[in-house]
Amino acid sequence: MRADDYLPHRDPFLFITELRSVEPGQSATGAWQLTGDEAFFAGHFPGRPTLPGVLMVESLAQLGGVAVLADPAYAGKLPLFGGIERARFRQQVVPGDLLELEVTLGRMSARAGKGSGRATVNGKLACEAELLFVLVDAAPPAEG
């Protein structure tokens, strides 16, 4: 089972390199192995490459998307960011780190939902955030 079995994201914007567990509509765990070859490290920051915090949040959102889309009730839907709350960045993440990801979904409806995520490196908290998302049709509306 791979993240791209559920998500429309593809390289270079698919950040989950390992999907470990999925409880459809409930939770998911996974990881992002940072190799140092990612293009953003060259500019963020030269001489001291650091994973941008917004990409940590995006990796959590992608994992949350897996948990949502694994639920047959949301077939044909696409979760989009509706908001990010209480995001905190606790530690620098660098090339070679394995970012461990976990997301738990909260309140869900046919049109929106909430989730909370945590990212750790070697058991130490790197990032945590509450994620809000809206559900839209996966296929774009027909032009007419």
44 among known catalytic residues: yes
3-class state of residue 115 by DSSP: strand
Rg of the chain taking only CA atoms, in angstroms:
15
- In the set 25, 44, 53, 87, the catalytic residue is 44
Is the bond preceding 95 in cis, omega lying within 30 degrees of 0?
A: no
Note the helical H segments in 44-106.
53-69
Residues 6 or more apart whose CB falls under 8 angstroms from that of 37 comprise none
Q: Known catalytic residues?
A: 44
